[in-house]
Amino acid sequence: MRQRLHWLSLHGFVRAMAAMGARGGDLQARLIADPTVAADPVPFYAELRAQGPLIKGRVNYLAVDHALAHELLRSDDFRVLMLGSNLPRPIGWLERRTRDEVLHPLRAPSLLAVEPPEHTRYRKTVSAVFTSRAVAALRDRVEQTAVGLLDQLAEQAATSGGVVDIVDRYCSQLPVAIISDILGVPERDRGRVLEFGELAAPSLDIGLPWQQYRSVQEGLAGFNVWLVEHLGQLRRNPGDNLMSLMIQAGESGSPETHLDESELLAIAGLVLAAGFETTVNLLGNGIRMLLDAPENLDTLRQRPELWPNAVEEILRLEPPVQLTARLARTDVEMAGMQIKAGELVVVYLGAANRDPSVFPEPDHFDIERPNAGRHLAFSGGRHFCLGAALARAEGEVGLRAFFERFPDARAAGTGNRRDTRVLRGWSTLPVALGPAHSMVRVDR
């Protein structure tokens, strides 16, 4: 009963209100209640943009303009959203009374839900491993992992006709191996981490149906139990990995790095999940986009120096994270509208990345686009994605290595999109690999 009441307060109420709003034409409600938007949001981007840079819904605002989104993400007049914090008072009271104690990515002390000074302290504990210099040192490991996975795919292609679910066999395996190395996760546990991640991925969405909510709670609870056990093992047997260093720093007593148990769990869990969830989407989106645009693959074979820019263009057109949100700290004017303290602005990253005032012919997949890197796929300001450099490296190495190994690969079915709105990617993507070519080391 307690769980059902929590779903009702956090998701059921929102689902009912969104369904009513969508029937009445509310554009923001359609983000939750319109299945056509989830299936293909691109026409919806244009529909929203025609209403102006900032749209007032029945409850919240929706920002679709690139310049406005850029400003919002960096403004001190706004803060990140905590799960349930903007619910109507009686519904919010019920949500707080019925929630469990399981860690959630949108609830403090998660990095996604806090602001300075806590955010500054948490970020310091993990930022060093994700600098450009540190990621450059990891690049050999990314290349080695990609080669090993592609060797396995080549063996399968030779014995089973060569059709594989590339998400399951490659796109998920590469980033989970890398982030697991960084965080000291043994190879035997990586399958469980992937399973927990898949179950918990919709936790960033609001308005979940009951059965999906139950799956999310199961995934979060399972991940929480596993993570407590993993941290305990690393305390007993520390290694040369970020998680062990975080434990040591957190227990050092220094005010700048001290973390209590809940803070350590929240940071470790978010870094681990975010370290592979979004990159799985980047790789899957990129493979499908390039298979659908063979002319771009031809150009990349002739000009491999374009691979980094191709990754930026993939991130622009199909950002793995579509939406984020900010709460107004005070009354503020944005785009000629008065936003009151406590009101929510949903920042539609996917729409901002196709703003024609910034990206001419915004729906065209142009791997030579000179300003592709101006996308907002990694958010911005103090909440800019910590793992952006690593995601870019994994995207570049992973995509280039795949298409060099399997230059004749082609789509072998429509595949299935993930049943999420904040995250956009493929849950399954069948690919006919074709003959495997010898592996060429990816140049730095």
Q: Which residues, other chains included, contact 303 with Cβ-Cβ below 8 Å and sequence gap of 6+?
A: none
Helix (H) or strand (E) holding 321: none
What's residue 253's pLDDT?
A: 65
In this prediction, residues 44-58 reach a mean pLDDT of 94
In this prediction, residues 286-290 reach a mean pLDDT of 98
- Alpha carbon 374 to its chain's center: 18
**366-386 pLDDT per residue, tens:** 999 999 999 999 999 999 999
User: Given pLDDT bands bounded at 50, 70 and 90, which one contains residue 403?
Assistant: very high
Question: Which of 54-81 are b and which e, b meaning 16 or more Cβ less than 10 Å from the residue's Cβ?
Answer: bbbbebbbbbbbbebbbbbbebebbbbb
**98-120 pLDDT per residue, tens:** 999 888 999 999 999 999 999 99
Beta strands in 60-101 (DSSP E): 61-63, 78-80
What's residue 444's pLDDT?
A: 46
Beta strands in 44-104 (DSSP E): 54-56, 61-63, 78-80
The two structure tokens encoding residue 372: 């592709």
User: Given pLDDT bands bounded at 50, 70 and 90, which one contains residue 85?
Assistant: confident
In this prediction, residues 345-350 reach a mean pLDDT of 98
* % of the chain with per-residue pLDDT over 70: 98
pLDDT above 90: residue 243? no
User: Given pLDDT bands bounded at 50, 70 and 90, which one contains residue 307?
Assistant: very high
**179-196 pLDDT per residue, tens:** 999 899 999 999 988 988
pLDDT above 80: residue 137? yes
Question: From CA 308, how far away is CA 287, in angstroms rounded?
Answer: 14
Q: Is the pTM of this model over 0.85?
A: yes
Domain-wise residue ranges, the chain = 2-432
Instruction: Name the pairing type of β-strands 337-339 and 332-334.
Output: antiparallel
In DSSP terms, which residues pair with 307 in a beta bridge?
none
Question: From CA 200, how far away is CA 183, in angstroms rounded?
Answer: 19
- CB of 54 within 8 A of CB of 27? no
CATH code assigned to 2-432: 1.10.630.10
Q: Within a 10 A sphere around the Cβ of 186, how many other Cβ atoms?
A: 10
Does residue 140 or residue 258 have the better pLDDT?
140
How long a stretch of residues is the chain? 444
CA torsion, ordered 157, 162, 166, 169, to nearest 10 deg = -40
DSSP state of 171: I
pLDDT above 50: residue 140? yes
**155-171 pLDDT per residue, tens:** 887 776 789 999 999 99
* % of the chain with per-residue pLDDT over 90: 74
- CB of 434 within 8 A of CB of 409? yes
What's residue 340's pLDDT?
A: 96
Look up residue 437 and give its amino acid. H
pLDDT above 50: residue 346? yes
In this prediction, residues 309-318 reach a mean pLDDT of 98
Beta strands in 319-401 (DSSP E): 323-328, 332-334, 337-339, 344-348
**184-227 pLDDT per residue, tens:** 999 999 998 898 888 889 999 999 999 999 999 999 999 999 99
User: What's the mean pLDDT when you consider all of the chain?
Assistant: 92
What's residue 369's pLDDT?
A: 98
What's residue 440's pLDDT?
A: 53
What's residue 441's pLDDT?
A: 53
Cis preceding-peptide flag for 109 (omega within 30 of 0): yes
Burial of 292 per CB tally in 10 Å (0-12, 13-18, 19+): exposed
- Determine which of 116-130, 197-211, 305-319 has the lowest per-residue pLDDT on average: 116-130
